[in-house]
Amino acid sequence: MIRLENLCKSYSSKKVLDDFNMTVPKGAVYGLMGLNGAGKTTVMKHLAGFLVQDSGTVTINNQPVVDNEELKNRVLVIPDEVFFFRGYRLKEMRGYYKNIYKNWNDSRFEEMTREFDLDVGGNLGKFSRGMKKQAAFCLAMSAMPDYLILDEPIDGLDPVARKKLWRYIMGDVAEREMTVVISSHNAREMEDVCNYIGIIHNGKMIFEADLLDMAPVTISEIFAEKFEGGMGND
In one-letter notation, the amino acid at residue 74 is: R
Tens of pLDDT, residues 134-163:
999 999 999 999 999 999 887 778 889 999
CA distances from 129 to 66, 116, 126, 166, 209 (A): 30, 14, 9, 18, 33
Report the pLDDT value the prediction gives residue 83, as an integer from 0 to 100.
Answer: 87
CB atoms within 10 A of CB 1: 13
Q: Is residue 62 situated within a structural domain?
A: yes
At 187, is the pLDDT very low, low, confident or very high (cuts 50, 70, 90)?
confident
Instruction: Give the DSSP letter of residue 81.
Output: S
At 234, is the pLDDT very low, low, confident or very high (cuts 50, 70, 90)?
very low
Number of domains in the chain: 1
> Rounded to the nearest 5°, which phi and psi values hold at 85?
-60, 135
Tens of pLDDT, residues 88-122:
999 999 999 999 999 999 999 999 999 999 999 99
Contact 186, 234 (CB under 8 A): yes
Range from 31-40, 83-92, 183-192, 214-223 carrying the lowest mean pLDDT: 214-223
Quote the pTM value: 0.90
At 228, is the pLDDT very low, low, confident or very high (cuts 50, 70, 90)?
low
Task: Please determine, for residue 230, whether its predicted confidence score (pLDDT) is greater than 60.
Answer: no
Q: Is residue 136 situated within a structural domain?
A: no
Q: Is residue 219 situated within a structural domain?
A: yes
Residues in the chain: 234
Taking each continuous run of H as one helix and of E as one strand, the counts in the chain are 8, 10
Q: Is residue 162 situated within a structural domain?
A: no
Q: Name the percent of the chain lying above pLDDT 70.
A: 97
Task: Please determine, for residue 231, whether its predicted confidence score (pLDDT) is greater than 50.
Answer: no
Q: Is residue 56 situated within a structural domain?
A: yes
Domain that holds residue 55: 1-74+181-227
Query: Which residue blocks in 49-123 are alpha helix, DSSP H?
Result: 69-72, 90-100, 106-115
Q: Report the pLDDT averaged over residues 115-131.
A: 94
Q: Is residue 138 situated within a structural domain?
A: no
Contact 168, 112 (CB under 8 A): yes
Q: 3-class secondary structure for 112-152? A: HHHHCCCCCCCEHHHCCHHHHHHHHHHHHHHCCCCEEEEEC
Three-class secondary structure of residue 109 per DSSP: helix
Q: What is the CATH number for 65?
A: 3.40.50.300
Task: Please determine, for residue 171, whether its predicted confidence score (pLDDT) is greater than 90.
Answer: yes
Report the pLDDT value the prediction gives residue 17, as an integer from 0 to 100.
Answer: 97
Tens of pLDDT, residues 198-211:
999 999 999 998 98
Q: Is residue 87 situated within a structural domain?
A: no
Q: Is residue 21 situated within a structural domain?
A: yes
